[in-house]
Amino acid sequence: MALRPPDDDLQIPSERPKKQPKIAVTAEKQQPDYGVNDENKPPQATADASVDYIPSENLKPIADPEAEVRGLIEGLESKDWVKVCESLNDARRFALYHSILLLPILDRVMLVTAKAMKNPRSALCKTSIMTSSDIFTAFGDKLLEPSTSDAFDELLLQLLLKASQDKRFVCEEADNAVKAMVESMTPLPLLRKLKTYVSHSNLRIRAKAAISISRCVSKLEPEGMKEFGLVSLIQTAAELLNDRLPEAREAARAIVASVYEALTENEEEKQEEWQSFCQSNLPAIHAQAMIKLVS
């Protein structure tokens, strides 16, 4: 009987290693400008430590504005997000202290500011929103002129979107910017811009637009409301009164109260004239709701 050799002496023929199948790996596209922060969260201290959120009252004039303004657009369009934030703060300083120098390139500055609001990096998003506030404060109605009107429309849309975010970090800053816009502009032309958004498919944008409209209306004298159109205002309010969000409905009630007061100065005839006005310009069900609001 043959003896079995010890295991150490066994000669096992080497097996040829199987060829591993090739796995296609798609490299993720690097986006160095975006970083890891989410626009809806407060900036992480480690990532955004180099960015200062400077209140408007703490901004200082630029020492040599004529020289600095020539490189402003280049800085705003930089691939380095920190450089963009610095340039946005410079744009704020130009707006507040050297607005004449900023005016020729204001439309480009506004477009870059609106673009920065779309960036997922929270520091860049917040700084751009703060920039829009200072631009509103500095230029007011100039933003509605033909040379800047299109850029203003883009900026307004982005602000309404940011004001509609769930996260407080973005929403509060955007709300402040929208308030600054309403405070710094003549209400009548701004109303015409805002009115298009009360029919927006996004219910939160509708609500934010409604709040701004009610603020504009509250600033108007009766003649201003009549110039804009009492019928248009009451129809807008009727539309918002049935909106899903309570903020939109509350804004609608404020608009109704303003229109009611502007309709006539005769207190004895006001209720009767209001009833006739609503019934003439609204469907019966909406007219009845409006009449009850002020009765």
Contacts of 166 (CB under 8 A, 6+ apart): 40
Cα-based torsion angle of the residue sequence 284, 205, 175, 82 in order, rounded to the nearest 10 degrees: -170
User: Which two three-digit tokens encode residue 123?
Assistant: 């520091």
Cα angle for residues 263, 264, 265 (degrees, 5° grid): 140
Mean pLDDT across the chain: 86
Q: Where are the alpha helices (DSSP H) in 25-167?
A: 45-48, 65-68, 72-76, 81-97, 99-102, 106-117, 122-139, 146-163
User: Which two three-digit tokens encode residue 124?
Assistant: 């860049």
Distance CA 249, CA 286 (A): 13
| 106: pLDDT strictly greater than 80 | yes
Tens of pLDDT, residues 202-228: 999 999 999 999 999 999 999 999 999
Task: State the pTM of this model.
Answer: 0.81
Distance CA 217, CA 67 (A): 42
* Most distant CA pair in the chain, distance: 128
User: Which two three-digit tokens encode residue 271?
Assistant: 């209720």
Write phi, then psi, for 120 (nearest 5 degrees): -65, -15
User: Which two three-digit tokens encode residue 73?
Assistant: 């657009």
Where on the phi/psi map is residue 60: left (φ > 0), alpha (ψ -120 to 50), or beta?
Answer: beta
Domains and CATH numbers, the chain: 57-185 (1.25.10.10), 196-295 (no CATH)
Range of weakest confidence among 50-59, 173-182, 191-200: 50-59
DSSP one-letter code for 200: -
Distance CA 131, CA 114 (A): 10
Write phi, then psi, for 275 (nearest 5 degrees): -60, -45
Distance CA 196, CA 204 (A): 14
Question: CA 163 → CA 50, 129, 172, 197, distances in Å?
Answer: 25, 10, 7, 13
Per-residue pLDDT, averaged over 220-241, amounts to 95
**DSSP per position, 3-59:** PPPPGGG--PPPPPPPPPPP---PPPPP-TTT-S--TTSPPPHHHHTT-----GGG-
Tens of pLDDT, residues 20-49: 444 333 333 333 343 444 444 444 444 455
User: Which two three-digit tokens encode residue 287?
Assistant: 């007219």
Question: By the 8 A CB rule, do 92 and 59 touch?
Answer: yes
Tens of pLDDT, residues 121-175: 989 999 999 999 999 999 999 999 999 999 999 999 999 999 998 778 889 999 9
